[in-house]
Chain A
Amino acid sequence: MELLSILTPLFFGLVAAGTVIGIIFGAIPGMTATMAVAVCLPLTYSLGLENGLALLLGLYVGGISGGLVPAILLNIPGTPSSITTTLDGYPMTQNGEGERALKIGITSSLVGGLISLAALYLFAPALADFAIKFSYIEKFLIIFFALTVMAALSNSLLVGIFSGFLGVFISLIGAYDISRGGNGELRLVPEFLEYYLESGFSLLPVLIGLFGLATILIDAEEGMKEGKGLSGVKIGGKPFKLSVFKGQIINLIRSSSIGTFVGILPGVGGSAASILAYSQEKNFSKNPEKFGKGAPAGVIASESANNGLTGGALVPLLSLGIPGDSTTAILIGAFTLQGIQVGPLFIGNNPVTWDAMIIAMLAANIIMFLVMVLAIRHIAKVVTVPKNILFPIILMMCVVGAYTINYGVMFDVWTLLIFGLFGYLAHKIRLEIAPFIIGFILGPSAEIYFVKSLESFGTLSIFFTKSWIAILLWGLIALSIAFSISVARKKKRMSSGIDDQA
């Protein structure tokens, strides 16, 4: 009954509003679902947890889905996760099948979203039940594992690990948290900043700086060029029929499952999910030569995988307290704002919120499908909204978000600027932002788990001998590093092969 009192018209109205705004963010190249969630977070302050999550989850689903519009119509991925949608979507547009490609993508997105939602509903509570038994040692190793997985899937293992540890290091700035058993002493803080940095840098201004201001600075550096217009793009043409999915059920299920699985891996973005699903479909296809020339199967694989990510990324967040991607990292902010800690106890202690989240995700997927199918021609026009209008508004919203997170601290606004500049610098020197963020979020917990384990057991060997789970986690850590080294070697061999041929 308590759940029914939450499912008000306002709740569904917020899901719908979030989904539509998310689609618009996703459809504009350079703006992402992460940015949408970061910018709209301050709006949730006075909404309460469930209503706030309804808005944010709508933004998340809409933001991931909207990326297919410019990918298909303009050959520009609206979000990184729709990168492989361009490969077959744009050729379809060139063949006069733009609307058909869009509707194939939208339907695949719906299926991907629903399959991942089912996975979330089934796996998150089970994983949380299992994780409740974890001691500080297993929890520390899970964070270590999360960092190595992310680093392993980065462009360079070393740079990925370095970025993750840099995030951990910066998260340690401030006092060693007394409320979690620390001694309350300050470290890594210059004397003149002691007043401001006693609790370290706040998470949200850091995230807003990295995803909001840094994106704008990168675009400003390139001259804020307006993208291609829609003139000359044929949206109409061959009509969309559901029969296009005949023979594609396995592709749909496999790609959605790949997306969900990649989402569960901490810190791995949607681009990895869609690339993996696309290449798998191409490998299994009877007509691989058609890929890249306008094969609907390519659009289906890419779009079902990137929406499969949405539910998957929430699994580690809600069961372990570890965000599955950068957007879910910002969702942590929404929980913190309402005084709720996500982790193994979250689902058991907050069953109504958990059910409301599932319903919000379901509603967001359905609303996304209906809005995009019915209004795709209007949404397509969004890609041409001028940046000189949008970006200043976004920057203003970033300021609002940073300022209000701690109920009015101007230093948080400066934090936004500091990390905006850092994000720009990281982009220039090719540091990996995803491992950095996960390191920053999990750093303080990792410290407590590590130091308290040493205080209790007095030996480093306990990290290897505590339980079979610890041994399993070390095995997984070794596996992820070995995987990364093997991929790096393969890449090196391929590039030297290409050089030889040249």
Chain B
Amino acid sequence: MSFDSPFHVTVDFNTSHMIFPTIIAVILGILFISILITRGSTILATVTSGTWWPAGIDHRRFFGTIALTVIYFLAMPEVGDLFPNTGLGFYLCSIPFLFALSTLYLHEHSRRTLLIAGANALIAPSVVWYILSELFNISLP
């Protein structure tokens, strides 16, 4: 895009894909600087006082959720490749994932709560897999 006069512009079709992203990037930059100028003191006060992330959060449950989710996502296609087009990658990985996540979130590890978590981990993926993959033929990993 070139400016012939203050308002007149010529658009080159070959480079037209960069016009809008460039404009938006410039606006974002201006807005970011404006936020820093107008709220800089508040941001600085927040940064200098108080504790830094991740202090003060429940590390085990927060990072445990992320770690289990990443393992779940990595494992699904691998297991799915062993049983192509059956959705079993999803089904077989969801059972241990649900059980692990349920127990991670538990506050009281009794025989009863673990049994409920186990039953939930078995029943929920079975129902979802059966309805979506078997009844509706929806592709699952």
Residues of A within 8 A of B (CB): 42-43, 45-46, 156, 158-159, 161-162, 165-166, 168-169, 172, 175-176, 182-188, 213, 216-217, 220-226, 387-389, 391-393, 395-397, 399-400, 403-404, 407-408, 410, 413-414, 417, 421, 428, 446-447, 450-451, 454-455, 458-461
Contacts and interface: CB of A to CB of B under 8 A. Distances in A.
Contacts of B70: 417
Interface in B79-133: 90, 94, 97-98, 101-107, 113, 116-117, 120-121, 124-125, 128, 131-132
B45 interface: no
B97 A220 contact: no
21 contacts: A42-B132, A46-B138, A158-B35, A162-B35, A168-B24, A172-B20, A185-B14, A216-B65, A217-B66, A220-B58, A223-B58, A388-B102, A389-B102, A391-B105, A392-B98, A397-B128, A404-B138, A404-B139, A413-B76, A421-B66, A459-B9
Interface residues of B, number: 65
A387 B61 CA distance: 13
Interface of B: 1, 7-11, 13-14, 16-21, 24-25, 27-28, 31-32, 34-35, 38-39, 53, 57-58, 61-62, 64-66, 69-70, 72-73, 76-77, 90, 94, 97-98, 101-107, 113, 116-117, 120-121, 124-125, 128, 131-132, 136-141
Pick the 4 closest A-B CB pairs, nearest first: A176-B17, A388-B105, A223-B58, A408-B139
A220 B65 contact: yes
Given A165-B31, A391-B101, A183 B14 contact: yes
Contacts of B105: 220, 224, 387-388, 391-392
A176 B16 contact: yes
A454 B120 contact: no
B7 to A, nearest CB: 5
Given A169-B25, A392-B97, A222 B58 contact: yes
B18 A187 contact: yes
A455 B24 contact: no
Contacts of A460: 7-9
